[in-house]
Amino acid sequence: MTFETPHAEGVQEIVVGRSIVDLREPLTPLRAEVRGEGLVPVRAPHGNVFVRGAGHYVLSESHYFNPDPVRLSWNTDLEALGITAVIATYTPPGREGDALVGMVGFDTMGAPKVRDAWKFVLSLPGIYEHKGGIELVETRAILHRAPTTWIDLWKKLVPIF
């Protein structure tokens, strides 16, 4: 998250969660890392601040809605977030040469859709803390549907001709 003020009146200490960002100069962007689960309050007592960053923003806590799946980390408190199910089972990665290789399957039955599409999150618990990295080489989707009979196919083709 980046903070910046265009005016001297906007120079101030901004509270971001439990941290303080000291915005000392106008027209000088100041970056602050926001860590934590759920809502993180930001308070700029004098206002007059541009706030930029990736994520979801809301001016009133009561209006907050997160449209994305929760990103899990190694220390995510599922109970505190009200999470009752995770649709992926976790299988530890195996070693292939110098690389750790992992695979996961998803059961989409009952998974919510947004505009007829599923949203997925690739979660890498502890990757930042351990200064790790990832190279996503392949994503494969296998979709299943009810079998089509010759009669069903014929019924779909006849109106075309």
Check whether residue 57 and residue 72 sit in a common domain. no
| Residue 30 phi, psi (nearest 5) | -125, 120
Q: How far apart are CA 115 and CA 133, in angstroms?
A: 32
Check whether residue 78 and residue 147 sit in a common domain. yes
Note down the domain range covering 8.
1-66
Domain stop point among 13, 48, 66: 66
pTM equals: 0.43
Conformational region of residue 160, where left means phi above 0, alpha means psi within -120 to 50, and beta covers everything else: alpha
Q: First and final CA of the chain: distance in angstroms?
A: 58
Domain stop point among 24, 39, 66: 66
Check whether residue 136 and residue 61 sit in a common domain. no
C-alpha triplet 10, 15, 18: angle, nearest 5°: 165
Check whether residue 77 and residue 61 sit in a common domain. no
Question: What does the pLDDT look like over 36-66, one tens digit per residue?
Answer: 667 889 999 999 999 998 778 888 888 887 7
Cβ contact 154:146 at 8 Å: no
**Residue 88 — very low, low, confident or very high, per pLDDT cuts 50/70/90?**
low
